[in-house]
Amino acid sequence: MNGDKMKHGAFWTVLFTLISLAWVYPIVLVVINSFKQKAYISRDTFSLPAGKAFVGLDNYERGIQRTNLIASFGWTLLITIGAVLLILFCTSMCAWWIVRVNNRSAKFLYTLFLFNMIVPFQMIMFPLSKIADMMGLNTPWGMWVLYLGFGAGLAVFIFTGVIKGLPAEIEEAAMIDGASVPRTFFTVVLPMMKPSIVSVAILQTMWIWNDFLLPYLTLDLRKYKTMSIAVQYLKGGYGSVDMGAMMGCLVLAIIPIIAFYLVCQKYIVAGVTAGAVKG
């Protein structure tokens, strides 16, 4: 019996290892080709950069200069940090209100948030871009509001599950001791939500940092470009693409988000499982 379990476990370990390698391989391929000359990228895509094919950091330097990637990095960082903080601040309080009030209005609001997760972005992208222009939301700080609308559904869904598992008696004790409602939330409830907050922050950061379509449709591209948009400007006329510079820019774009994920990954499972509460 134990031998069968070991064989079964070894099978799944090998299977998921191969699947993981299949997911990681494209990233490795991008890194390898970022050090090659353009001609060798299309001719010897899967070979290592060696000899005449190796160009060092030339692709990175050319990509930064042609796309103004440093400015794009700043705008992407501003949009991501601002949007994620706004999502965490608003949705955590909203979820707490939904759980603790638990009346018809709260249940209806929670249903709307769930509906927000179902509606595909393609259904509303053109009216949204028009409204964003009319309301002056076509700026990096205006994007915070747009991302709040799209990210609130998942965040509220996770936070409500977490708060349902928190003992209400602790909050009542704090209020009996004279704590106001805001103080109770920020000093009692919020610290207990830390794993789920970090988990939601990771998920929202990875989405917003890599997003292309929403910034492309709403931002004033004459003034602001995110990194995902800036990379697209390496395409020339008649379908020509500077693949070397593009590979270099892609590597620079994914390094911050991968580093952020590796630092915070331990909180993802804890945060998501904490939200898996019935009721």
**Domains (ranges, CATH) in the chain?**
2-57 (no CATH), 61-274 (1.10.3720.10)
DSSP H stretches of helix in the chain: 2-33, 38-43, 58-67, 69-101, 104-118, 125-134, 140-164, 168-176, 181-184, 190-192, 194-210, 213-218, 227-232, 243-264, 266-274
User: Phi-psi region for residue 51, left (φ > 0), alpha (ψ -120 to 50) or beta?
Assistant: left
Task: Please list the ranges in the chain whose pLDDT falls under 50.
Answer: 275, 277-279
Q: Please answer whether residues 279 and 164 qualify as being in contact, where contact means their C-beta atoms are separated by less than 8 angstroms.
A: yes
pLDDT of residue 16: 85
- The one-character DSSP state at 53 is G
Measured CA to CA, the distance from residue 37 to residue 245 in angstroms comes to: 9
pLDDT of residue 272: 56
End-to-end CA distance of the chain: 38
pTM for the whole thing?
0.85
pLDDT of residue 171: 86
pLDDT of residue 271: 57
Calculate what percentage of the chain has a pLDDT beyond 90. 23
* CA count, 13 A, side-chain hemisphere, 24: 7
Measured CA to CA, the distance from residue 157 to residue 163 in angstroms comes to: 10
Give 160-173 pLDDT, tens digit per residue: 988 988 888 888 88
